[in-house]
Each structure stands twice: as structure tokens, then as C-alpha cells.
Amino acid sequence: MSRFKSMDVEENVGCNLIPMIDIMFLLLLFFMLSADMTQRVAEDMKLPEADQVKEDPKKKEGYETTTVNLVGELENWHVVIAGHHYPDWENLKIALHELAHQAGDEEAGNAPGTYFSTRAIQLRAGQEAPYKHVQRLIQILSKSGFYKIEVVATKPDPGKT
């Protein structure tokens, strides 16, 4: 009955972990390198599409840029700058005024009684944002001393019909 039982053969069915670890390390490396750990200045939103937009160059043209987001839905739209929400336009005005009047930002050669900042504003407004909010934001930016406004849009996906 137990002729074969005496043959004490131990079958090794262990899982080889080394290739799995290699692959997981590679995956980890990929996700770590592609993760954006910088401070998020661009809010998640659906931007207008335009094929004529100039791609944002990595090298800036010698001036600082601040991203101003206009986010919301239906009638409720508000401004977000570097993660700070400004549901009240008055607070936004104060914040933008302070930003425009930062030391070293004043443009050279401003006429007496006028102030213009060298800083550019990247205006990111959602597709559905009513124009009145964008217009009001531009008016506030202008009155704060910003004149370099860059309207941000996405390039349409060439694969999309």
C-alpha cells in the first residue's frame, strides 16, 4: 500500500518573489517620477479648447507668473489662487492688490500716478464660466495693476474627432 509513501520527496512550490519585486520597483519608480508633488496652482477644471494657443514654454520670458483659476458651476463661480479660495470679490481685490504691489514687481517707467506690475497672470477659467465673471476678474486684475494676462486653454486631442 505504501510503497511510494516511503519516497520522501518534498516538492518546492514556493513563489519566486524576485521578478515580482523587480517589476514592482520599476512601477514604483515610474509612478514616483510621473507624480507631480509641486504645489498645485492649477485647479482641476475643463478648460476651453483652442488649437491656436501657444504652448507654455518651460523657460519663462523674464517675468513671474501667477495662476488665477475661476472655478465653479451654474451661478456659483469663485477665484482660486494657489489653493486659496476667494468666494468674496472684496477679499480677492485685497489679495490681488498685495500681489501686484510686491517689492520688485513694479514695472520700470510707469507714468506718475500709475502702477503696473511686471508679473503676468495666467487666467484659467472653466468652459462654462459665464463671461461676466471673467470680465469682472479682468477688471479687478487691471485695477490692481496687472496688464499681462494670459488666457489658458487646452489643445484639442488630435485623436478626438
Partner 1 sequence: MAGSQDPNDNPVSIQVVPMVDIIFCLCVFFMCSMKFKELEGKFESWLPKDKGQSQPMQDTPIEEIRVALFWNEADRTTLRKFGNTKITSDTQLQELIRDAYAGWVRLGKPQTPAIIDAAEMVPWNEVVRVVNLAKREKIEKIEFAAGKDYEAKK
Q: Which positions ≥6 away from 118 have C-beta within 8 Å? A: 63, 64, 105, 106, 107, 148
Distance in Å, CB of 89 to partner 1, minimum = 8
Which amino acid belongs to residue 133?
H
Residue 155 binds partner 1, judged by CB under 8 A: yes
User: 10 Å Cβ neighbour count for 64?
Assistant: 13
Distance in Å, CB of 7 to partner 1, minimum = 22
Options 53, 78, 105, 118; binder of partner 1; rule CB under 8 A? 53
Options 41, 47, 71, 95; binder of partner 1; rule CB under 8 A? 47
Residue 95 binds partner 1, judged by CB under 8 A: no
Q: Would you say 47 or 85 has its CB closer to partner 1?
A: 47
Beta-bridge mates of residue 123: 68, 151
- Please list every residue from 105 through 124 that binds partner 1, using CB under 8 A: 114, 116, 122
Q: Which positions ≥6 away from 14 have C-beta within 8 Å? A: none
* Angle, alpha carbons 124-125-130 (nearest 5°): 160
Distance in Å, CB of 156 to partner 1, minimum = 9
Contact segment (CB under 8 A) with partner 1 among 2-10, 20-28, 78-86, 98-106 equals: 20-28
